[in-house]
Amino acid sequence: GQQVMQIPQYQHVQEGEDFTTYCNSSTTLSNIQWYKQRPGGHPVFLIQLVKSGEVKKQKRLTFQFGEAKKNSSLHITATQTTDVGTYFCAGSRAGNNRKLIWGLGTSLAVNP
């Protein structure tokens, strides 16, 4: 079936270091969404990418959607302890946003 692979599964960084998580889909996606889930919390929507090659920034976070719309990445510059959590990508096929295909998530730990 359709899958979204996400790597790495875990990442430990020192505060101030950069962090990147990658998602790859077995099929072309209509759009991809990114969520952050703090420990003990619920997923919080960060952003949606729709266009091929799209790049969006939110302060220290940079999101990219690949040209083939099969891969995506989230890059955090100069991590802070507030960045701790699990980052999920979730993609949808054309015309079916009601069926998100979730990556397994990347759990980020930041050492102060």
Partner 1 sequence: DAMVIQNPRYQVTQFGKPVTLSCSQTLNHNVMYWYQQKSSQAPKLLFHYYDKDFNNEADTPDNFQSRRPNTSFCFLDIRSPGLGDAAMYLCATSRDSYSGGYTFGSGTRLTVV
Least distance (Å) between residue 91 CB and partner 1: 12
16 or 38: CB nearest partner 1: 38
Phi, psi for residue 48 in degrees, rounded to 5? -125, 135
DSSP conformation class of 41: S
- Asked whether the beta carbons of 44 and 37 are under 8 A apart, the reply is yes
107 binds partner 1, rule: CB under 8 A: yes
Our finding on whether 73 is near partner 1 (CB under 8 A) is no
Question: Using the rule CB under 8 A, is 98 a contact of partner 1?
Answer: yes
Query: Closer CB to partner 1, residue 42 or residue 59?
Result: 42
Q: Note whether 59 binds partner 1 by CB under 8 A.
A: no
Q: Where are the beta strands (DSSP E) in the chain?
A: 4-7, 10-14, 19-25, 31-37, 43-49, 55-58, 61-65, 71-76, 85-93, 96-102, 106-111
Note whether 23 and 103 are within 8 A (CB).
Answer: yes
Considering only residues 8, 26, 27, 45, which one is a binding residue for partner 1 as defined by CB under 8 A?
45
Interface with partner 1, residue 42, by CB under 8 A? yes
Binding site for partner 1 (CB under 8 A): 31, 33, 35, 41-48, 50, 88, 95-100, 102-105, 107
